[in-house]
Amino acid sequence: MASERFDSTKLPPIDESSPTPLYHQIFLILRDRISDGTYAFESAMPSENEICRIFGVSRITAKRALDELASANLVVRRRGRGTSVSHRTASLPVHYSVEGLFEDLLAMGLKTEVELLSFDYEEAPSHVALALNCEPGAIVQHAIRVRRLEGGPFSYLTTWVPEDVGRSYSKKDVATKPLLVLLERDGVVVSSAEQTITATGADALAAKALAVEIGAPLLRISRVVRDQTERPVEYIVALYRPDRYQFRMDLTRVEGEERKRWSPTT
């Protein structure tokens, strides 16, 4: 019956000695199971009684865990009908090669909706000047956008481009078209990029835009895009919700000089 739908052996235990409240530990465990697809869209979640049994907690603790999932817009709770998953897991793989990367970025831009939060010209901060290979204080075009997929926030994008490049498109263009499309439309030949992937915590602005808590883990991708002369034409810092974005790399086992190694599949 209900207890047979959920295998408690597949759920990690909670730590009663941890300073993290028990209900929040349970929330994190169930949130991760929603993110990885264990509990799929519209599927039933464990009931309050089942959570009590699985984790050995009180009914109040179980209720608070499910209420927190509902507050995070991951589940819907209906009186007499239980709790079901309302979150759709989205996975958009990005390939290792630059050619595949650009193709995927363009496809992503065309499939998602954009909300333009800001668009202006400003003096380049030192880290931006370094990335764009320009003098600190040089004027750059700066934009912040949120991309949405299937109605939910997907990424928080901050871009800087040299002033002469930015003047070739308008605020309206940025709100309706992917930046790579705009660059190539205006004659910029994009040929290479340098990308760094790491993790970060959401600050207040990113948390609000991505509908997550301040400090929530995010995937951070910074990228410098260059034209055929190796001039940097775009610097972007993209923050992604890890439950809505996955970086995938296809690998092939090949013979090396001394031993076999993994190599990106091209």
Do residue 144 and residue 13 come from a single domain? no
Domain edge (last residue) among 30, 50, 85: 85
Q: Are residues 104 and 219 in the same domain?
A: yes
Asked whether residue 119 falls in the same domain as residue 213, the answer is: yes
Q: Are residues 138 and 203 in the same domain?
A: yes
| Residues 108 and 221 placed together within one structural domain of the fold | yes
Q: What is the pLDDT of residue 98?
A: 40
| Boundaries of domain holding 37 | 2-85
CATH of the domain at 242: 3.40.1410.10
Number of domains the chain contains: 2
Is 168 exposed, middle or buried, given 0-12, 13-18 or 19+ CB atoms closer than 10 A? Answer: middle
Whether residue 236 sits in one domain with residue 208:
yes
**Is there a domain that residue 91 lies in?**
no
| Cβ pair 213, 119 in contact under 8 A | no
- CA dist 59 and 12 (Å) reads 19
Residues 6+ apart with CB under 8 A from 89: 34, 35, 36, 37, 40, 41, 243, 244
- Per-residue pLDDT of the chain in tens (266 residues, 90 and over written 9): 333 355 554 678 888 888 889 999 899 889 878 876 778 888 899 999 999 999 999 999 999 999 999 988 889 999 888 899 987 665 444 333 444 444 455 555 556 688 999 999 999 998 999 999 999 889 999 999 998 877 788 889 999 999 999 999 999 999 888 888 898 898 999 888 898 888 998 888 898 999 888 888 899 999 999 999 999 999 999 999 887 777 767 778 887 777 787 776 66
DSSP assigned state of 108: H
Shared domain check, 207 and 148: yes
For the domain that residue 50 is a member of, what is the CATH number? 1.10.10.10
Which pLDDT score is estimated for 58? 96
CA distance 207 to 17: 29
Residues 8 and 120 reside in one and the same domain? no
Which pLDDT score is estimated for 38? 78
Same domain for 56 and 136, yes or no, is no
CB of 226 within 8 A of CB of 132? no
pLDDT of amino acid 124:
92
152 and 236 fall within a common domain: yes
The answer on 45 and 123 residing in a single domain is no
The domain boundary residue, chosen from 54, 85, 116: 85
Cβ 159 vs Cβ 179: under 8 Å: yes
**Looking at residue 257, what DSSP letter applies?**
S
Q: What is the pTM of this model?
A: 0.66
pLDDT of residue 204: 87
Domain annotation covers residue 264: no
Residues 215, 123 share a domain: yes
d(CA 30, CA 12): 10
pLDDT of residue 239: 93
